[in-house]
Amino acid sequence: MHGIAGERTLMRIHVDETDRWQGSLLYAAILRVLREHGLAGTTILRSIMSFGSRRVLHSDLNEITSLDRPVVIECVDDEARIAEVLPEIDRMISSGLITFERANVVVYRAPEP
């Protein structure tokens, strides 16, 4: 098990659901990179409603904008481990947002085999 209890860094990446990277969905490509680099874990969340820098409302309630809603990719690990992979992730994103914040990891446990 990857021991990460204590103060760590939460990286959040916001991209559009339809963004692509070398023929793959961008969020799937980012997850693959984080996994290949051995980060503790990653979760991808699809939004229900949002707006960004262009102030366009994306929502399940609107057929047109429901096709390109933002997704949020969250990853918690040591700041140094995240910093190592950040340049590669940054090159992949043509439009989006990346944030860091402190996270106090209380439990991170894998199931028994």
**Sequence spans of domains, the chain:** 6-104
pLDDT value at 64 more than 50 = yes
> What would the mean pLDDT of 11-28 be, rounded to a whole number?
95
Per the model's pLDDT, the better-predicted residue between 5 and 77 turns out to be 77
Predicted pLDDT of residue 44: 97
Token duo for residue 39: 């980060």
Non-local (6+) Cβ contacts of 13 within 8 A are 30, 72, 73, 74, 75, 89, 93, 96, 97, 98
* Structure token digits, residue 14: 């916001």
- Mean pLDDT across the stretch 12-17? 93
Q: What is the pTM of this model?
A: 0.84
1 band by pLDDT with thresholds 50, 70 and 90? very low
* pLDDT, the chain, mean: 87
Alpha-carbon distance of 67 to 8, in angstroms, equals 34
CA gap 82, 74 in Å, rounded: 11
6-104 has which CATH code? 3.30.70.120
